[in-house]
Amino acid sequence: MELTQEQAAVVDAAAHGVRRIVVEAGAGAGKTSTIVAAAKAKRRQRGLLTVFNRMMAEETRPRLVGTGCTASTLHSVAWRSAVAEPFKRSGGARLNVMLPARDAAEAVGIRGPVTISQELGETSRNAVGDLLKDWVTRFCHSSSDVISSQHFPAATLREFLTPDLAKKADEDPKWMSMLTRAYAGALAPHAARLWGLMSQPDGDFPTTHDTYLKLYVMSRPSVGCDYVMLDEAQDANPIMLQFMQLAEQQGAQTIYVGDSYQQMYSWRGAVDALRQIDADARLRLTQSFRFGPAVADVANLVLGGLRHSDFRIVGAGRPSRVVETIDAPNAVICRKNATAIAMALEAREAGCRVGLCMNPKELLREVDALERFQANGRTDARRFRRFASFEEMQESVENGDAPDLKILLDLIAEHNYDGTRSILSEIAVGKTPEEIERSKVQTVFLTGHASKGLQFQHVLLGDDFKGVAKLESAPAAVRAEEFNILYVAVTRAQSTLCLGNSEAAGDLRALMQQAAAAAPALSAA
């Protein structure tokens, strides 16, 4: 493969041992090919490419054969260490047992509901268990050595607020902050106790893979590599950065690769390493081989006109086009799950062979939980704990809360529970490229988040992407991430892109008109 000048510059910097390199790689810009080329240029050195999941590792590993570099998740690196040995006993039984929220709470002395805020009233034992479990998870993803109130999962607490209190939290951030501090202060000893049980090497208490990874990095291991590369660095957990910094302290070259404009997970604690690192060399890959100039032009309108960035991408792939209507898209990419589900069901009714890019088991579990809730009048399901009854949940949904849940309830009302399971089993095809390919559907419906890492010949954008006006009062970080999701959705298209009728699509059309009007003036000048 012949490298572009930009790719060659990255390979050259890696080969010459530049200590800390950041590579900002645009959508479809040959990021993996560049990583492999860099590893081949350093074939006499021992390297590690850390990736986000096992599928990515398995896809990349064969391309690295003979380079001295291996592709692996950080969890797999930790699993091969001595720290993980105690967790492998009895076939890793501790890791294969789900820890129910109730058991987590009881294990640390919570025997029933607790009252921390008079305004909230009682918080159930199950809700406390969920808070504690998420607390430990946030700590495991952090770079801290001691669990504390700074790792308290405020987003989880927000889940358990009634609709009225959730509205108050949105309108009064100070009130939510005070509530968070109260819960963090009251439950901190219990969180520390739960972490102690989960991290005990010789214990049998249920634990997670995040636990031994945390213990591994805390042990300050010898990384044993000449260079370490971090893929998808725009959505790194702090513990990943800690591992990279540890490698650097031991003399390894570190290379961070990703796209800041594809960051979509800051809401769950991910950080953009590309912007945090003080790099010795900061390089860009801007030529996209996925699509041609027409799609690139729209992507650049998102980057420049909405994100106000100077990063631009060049459409170096096959010719592409942007159209106003599209009859047979391969993919319909939406902002929200609710829109994807609703549009998939509508297309199914019209006779289209559709696929929903969601985990079928997760959807069916939600239907099962709804059935139990309606039958028993109470529920252990985390999503429904804030409701005192099934009827209260129905009322909240009818008032606009949880639109995806409304779709499920409407389906159940029309087709009953078994009929709903049948429909969802038919259309939910999974999330991986292989699962989508095997499904042989005409059109797959998915969210911007689910579309990351995928590409389709013909793409239609859903009608629920927010525009500038609706996001004007949102915090800057929220606006940026919303437009990042739009950028990801736009750049999944290989040949044809239809913008749809969302507010964001209207903003893009206005920017396209401005660009078209400016073009004659520039040529005349």
pLDDT for residue 521 is more than 60 = no
Burial label for 454, CB within 10 Å (0-12, 13-18, 19+), is: middle
Question: Among residues 466, 454, 469, 422, which one has the least CA distance to residue 332?
Answer: 454
First to last CA, the chain: 40
Per-residue model confidence (pLDDT) at position 482: 96
> Mean of the pLDDT values across residues 220-240?
96
Q: At what angle do helices 173-199 and 125-141 cross, to 10 degrees?
A: 80
Per-residue model confidence (pLDDT) at position 390: 92
Per-residue model confidence (pLDDT) at position 377: 86
Per-residue model confidence (pLDDT) at position 502: 97
Alpha-helical segments (H) within 350-402: 360-376, 390-398
Per-residue model confidence (pLDDT) at position 42: 95
d(CA 21, CA 278): 9
> 231 to each of 22, 43, 64, 74, 415, how far by Cα in Å?
11, 19, 14, 11, 45
What percentage of the chain reaches a pLDDT higher than 70? 98
d(CA 43, CA 36): 10
Q: Where are the beta strands (DSSP E) in 162-263?
A: 227-230, 253-258
Per-residue model confidence (pLDDT) at position 458: 98
Q: How many CA atoms lie within 13 A of 409 on its CB side?
A: 18
d(CA 525, CA 126): 69
pLDDT for residue 101 is more than 70 = yes
Per-residue model confidence (pLDDT) at position 93: 87
Structure tokens at 141: 């993803």
Question: Where is average pLDDT lowest: 145-154, 157-166, 307-316, 447-456?
Answer: 157-166
What are the structural domains, with CATH classification, of the chain? 5-81+221-285 (3.40.50.300), 91-212 (no CATH), 290-357+430-524 (3.40.50), 359-427 (no CATH)
Which tens digits make up the pLDDT trace of 477-503? Answer: 999 999 999 999 999 999 999 999 999
- In eight-state DSSP terms, residue 172 is -
3 state SS of 353? coil
pLDDT confidence of 166, banded at 50, 70, 90? confident
Per-residue model confidence (pLDDT) at position 520: 65
3 state SS of 22? strand
Q: Which residues contact 248 (CB under 8 A, 6 or more apart)?
A: 19, 20, 254
Q: What is the dihedral of CA 291, 292, 293, 298, to 10 degrees?
A: -30
> Mean of the pLDDT values across residues 288-312?
96
pLDDT confidence of 268, banded at 50, 70, 90? confident
> Mean of the pLDDT values across residues 423-437?
94
- What SS3 string covers 236-295? ECHHHHHHHHHHHHCCCEEEEEECHHHCCCHHHCCECHHHHCCCCEEEEECEECCCCHHH
- Residue 25 pairs in a beta bridge with 285
Is the Cβ–Cβ distance between 127 and 103 less than 8 Å? Answer: no
> Mean of the pLDDT values across residues 358-373?
94
What is the reported pTM?
Answer: 0.92
pLDDT confidence of 519, banded at 50, 70, 90? low
